[in-house]
Amino acid sequence: MTSMPATASRWKAPLVFLGFGAIAAAVASTAAFTSLHLGLAPWAMFVGWVAYFTRPISGRQGVYTWLCLLCGLLLGALAVLALRELMPMMGPFALALVVFVVAMVVVSMRAIRILDNIPAWFLGLIAFFAAHVEPSLGGLAELGGTGALGSAAGWISQRLQALLTRH
């Protein structure tokens, strides 16, 4: 009688482990396909996914994290505009000045509870510069929406994995 529960419990941990991976893979695959189908860059969707998992505590925290990602995108756009103005006057020193100001702004956000996810800010900055989009509302909306898709996919993956552990 004791061998049956022991056998069942012996298999539970590996199945949960595989289930977690299968859920993450299925959600990631679906999100990547959706991104591509919508004409969005799957890599940018994964930036939102990674940002979500910097603090995967709750859906609310996920929204705050996405907001930090969005702020990083906006700050990236402002940095590009600043560089365009300052480079003719300052040459390569403009980059040092702009990076200093951007880093000060980002690191200072640790004092504001809703905006204190510094890695998400930097992921937004990285995504903006990697995308090579114009610093426009359209470019920001596209990257922000793509990041939101990734964050939502991370949340869905987390919720489905939580359901798996309840059974």
Per residue of the chain (167 residues), what is the pLDDT tens digit? Answer: 444 455 556 667 788 889 999 999 999 999 999 999 999 999 999 999 999 999 877 888 999 999 999 999 999 999 999 999 999 999 999 999 999 999 999 999 999 999 999 999 999 999 999 999 999 999 999 999 999 999 999 999 999 999 988 86
Give the pair of three-digit tokens for residue 123: 């992921």
CA distance linking residue 119 with residue 113, whole number of Å: 14
Q: Tell me which residue of 55, 1, 33 sits closest to 149, measured CA to CA.
A: 33
pTM of the model as a whole: 0.86
Q: What are the DSSP calls for 115-136, one per residue?
A: G--HHHHHHHHHHHHHHT--SS
- Residue 100 confidence (pLDDT): 98
Cα 142 to the center of its chain, rounded Å: 14
The count of other CB atoms within 10 Å of the CB of residue 148 is 18
Query: CB under 8 Å to 147, separation ≥6 — which residues?
Result: 44, 45, 47, 48, 51, 66, 69, 70, 73, 124, 127
Helix and strand totals (H; E) in the chain: 6, 0
